[in-house]
Structure 1
Amino acid sequence: MSESRAAKTPSRQVIAGADRYLFRSGWLESRQSFPVTGNFDLAANAHGVLLVHNDDRVDAGEGFDAHFHRDAEIVTWVLEGAVAHRDSFGNTGVISPGVAQRMSAGRGITHTEANASRRSEDRDLRVVQMWVAPEHAGGEPGYAERDFTTDLAAGGLVTVVSGMPEHATTGAISINNPAAALHVARLGYGESVTLPPAPFGHLYVARGVVELDDGVHLGEGDALRTTDDGAVTVSATSDAEILFWEMRTTLRR
């Protein structure tokens, strides 16, 4: 599903949180980097191989009934609360902050996902869900999860999901795309990390405020899309949590 590309002039594009596509429907508030709710062409709107990047809030006791996916590597990262997952291949899980989940839809899979708390507990769920195109369509469906809490507490940039060969022994969850990796960092005030250079990059500030090496400040909900950029230094001006997709190819012609 992906294609290689020639190098172009480096660029950085800031997507303010207030400018993200907003979808509200009863128990769900979804802030989307790429419009996905409705009849949208995901490949046409993609950045690199990143098709979907939603920051969702789900009311207690609510969630999505059984629904079908195919040909997507679906990565879930929880910020508040917990997600209850069940799929048609018998996989179940309750995903909480610090735990990364990957569901490979492959040739087809049906699943449910919901706020794991009951209505009486009144605990909202905040979750970032991301879809990456697989290298090949029609693959075998699969599921994996891993707790990275200890790794994140040690500081620095942690690779939580990757299909890149160099990450095969790092403990990252594998995905079916050798050109994509998701890195996460939890930064205290004044701490910095350097994002790897990438033909395509997508930085998302999940919490707090950070400053980039060019002096640009990004707050919670802001994103930065890079093209053919070098290493980017990110410094926290408050406690912060960031998610960065490193991608080496694109879907767009």
Structure 2
Amino acid sequence: MIRVRRSEERGHFDHGWLDTRHTFSFSRYHDPKHVHFQALRVINEDWVRAGHGFGTHPHEDMEIITYVLEGGLAHRDSMGTSSVIRPGELQRMTAGTGITHSEFNASDSEPVHLYQIWIFPERDGLEPSYEQKAFPVSDRKNRLRLVASPDAADGSLKIHQDARLYLATLDAGQSVSQAMVPGRHGWLQVLRGEVDLNGLRLSAGDGAASSDEPLLTIRAGGDAEAEVLLFDLAGMA
């Protein structure tokens, strides 16, 4: 079974400096039908204007993953980390027992376009930690590249949850497939372009939840390349 979450159905707020879309309930947006999917709690797509950003604020007991599509995002946190996240790079932050951080557009002239993802951790009270890695297009061209996993396999980021995240950039007409173990669930987020997921057409910003699907086949549609993020998630009680 596949359930599609269309881009235009997401929560949307335009604050002037921030244009944001929420796949799941977040902040002032609440939809009881879309609170989370398994351990996947937040998928926010943000466009932040030059010279603006999120001031210092706290988090705890959450795995936070940030992926930049365009521009640069300057990050500072209470662990002493200071970095800029660029396109093709993923950041993983374990909030655990508590951290504070800020995120600002690193440019004074261009916007930054990013996704921020929150995943429930395997348990509360973890020690806060941080990772940032680049996954170049050459590593994920027409293939599903593992970018986050509980065992840090294949050079992926280590997340503290039974979830595996894959990133792929597909040329027009190319496809990739992922076998799904019984009892696990998939979420596909289309970052750019258009794809067919098991014959269902999805566009940029669309998401799709899958359960009891033994095989997920993702094919780039249209005449341009597509970029997708696939989550392989354990079932939650």
TM-score, normalization by structure 1: 0.87
Letter in 2 for 1:223: G
Alignment partner of 1:38: what SS? coil
Q: Cα offset for 1:151? A: 4.7
Q: Cα offset for 1:109? A: 0.2
- Alpha-carbon distance change, 154 to 65 in structure 1, aligned in 2, over 3 angstroms: same
1:223 maps to which residue?
Answer: 207
Q: Is the 8 A contact 2:141 2:168 kept in 1?
A: no
- Larger mean CA deviation between 128-137 and 195-204 belongs to 195-204
Post-superposition Cα deviations, 1:75-134, rounded to whole Å, max 9, x if no partner, equal 00111111100000101110011111001000000000011101xx2x111100000011
- Return the structure number with greater relative CO, CA threshold 8 A, min gap 6: 1
1:8 maps to which residue?
Answer: none
Q: 1:84 aligns with which of 56, 74, 82?
A: 74
Letter in 2 for 1:248: A
Q: Distance in 1 between matches of 2:140 and 2:119?
A: 26
Number of aligned residues: 232
Q: Is 1:173 the equivalent of 2:160? A: no
Q: Distance in 1 between matches of 2:72 and 2:214?
A: 35
2:115 maps to which residue?
Answer: 128
Q: Cα offset for 1:234? A: 0.5
2:190 maps to which residue?
Answer: 205
List 4+ stretches of structure 1 deviating above 4 A: 39-42
Compute the RMSD of aligned alpha carbons. Answer: 1.8
Q: Cα offset for 1:152? A: 3.1
Q: 1:63 aligns with which of 49, 53, 65?
A: 53
Q: Distance in 2 between matches of 1:106 and 1:154?
A: 34
Q: 2:170 aligns with which of 147, 168, 187?
A: 187
Map 1:39-58 → 2, pairs under 5 A: 45-58=35-48
1:27 maps to which residue?
Answer: 17
Letter in 2 for 1:143: Y
Q: Distance in 2 between matches of 1:145 and 1:107?
A: 20
Map 1:74-113 → 2, pairs under 5 A: 74-113=64-103
1:158 maps to which residue?
Answer: 145
Letter in 1 for 2:214: G
Q: Is the 8 A contact 1:201 1:244 kept in 2?
A: yes
1:242 maps to which residue?
Answer: 228
Letter in 1 for 2:37: H
Structure 1: segments with no counterpart, 5+ residues: 1-10
Post-superposition Cα deviations, 1:41-76, rounded to whole Å, max 9, x if no partner, equal 99x811010000001110011000000000000000
Structure 2: segments with no counterpart, 5+ residues: none
Identity of aligned residues (%): 39
Letter in 2 for 1:217: R
